[in-house]
């Protein structure tokens, strides 16, 4: 499995302004591209979830 991170450089004030527009404690789970037949399993708040390639939760 590959973890991809986008990183940015910003001042503290820019980060503060940006953070005000976002929900807290949010995790995005994105699977492979649409051309893969893989399924992925994970737990979210103790509930088993399954996601197919090309989808997100």
pTM of the model: 0.40
How big is the CA angle at 9 (ends 4 and 28), to the nearest 5 degrees?
35
Please determine, for residue 38, whether its predicted confidence score (pLDDT) is greater than 90.
Answer: no
- What local confidence, expressed as pLDDT, does residue 12 receive? 93
What does pLDDT average to over the chain?
81
Quick one: tokens of 28? 């995005």
Please determine, for residue 1, whether its predicted confidence score (pLDDT) is greater than 90.
Answer: no
- Mean pLDDT along residues 18-22: 85
Structural domain spans, the chain: 12-52
- What local confidence, expressed as pLDDT, does residue 42 receive? 83
């Amino acid at each position: 499995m590959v973890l991809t991170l986008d990183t940015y450089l910003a001042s503290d004030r820019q980060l503060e302004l940006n953070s005000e527009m976002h929900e807290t404690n949010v995790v995005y789970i994105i699977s492979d591209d649409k051309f893969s037949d893989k399924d992925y399993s994970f737990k979210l708040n103790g509930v088993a979830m399954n996601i197919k390639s090309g989808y997100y939760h």
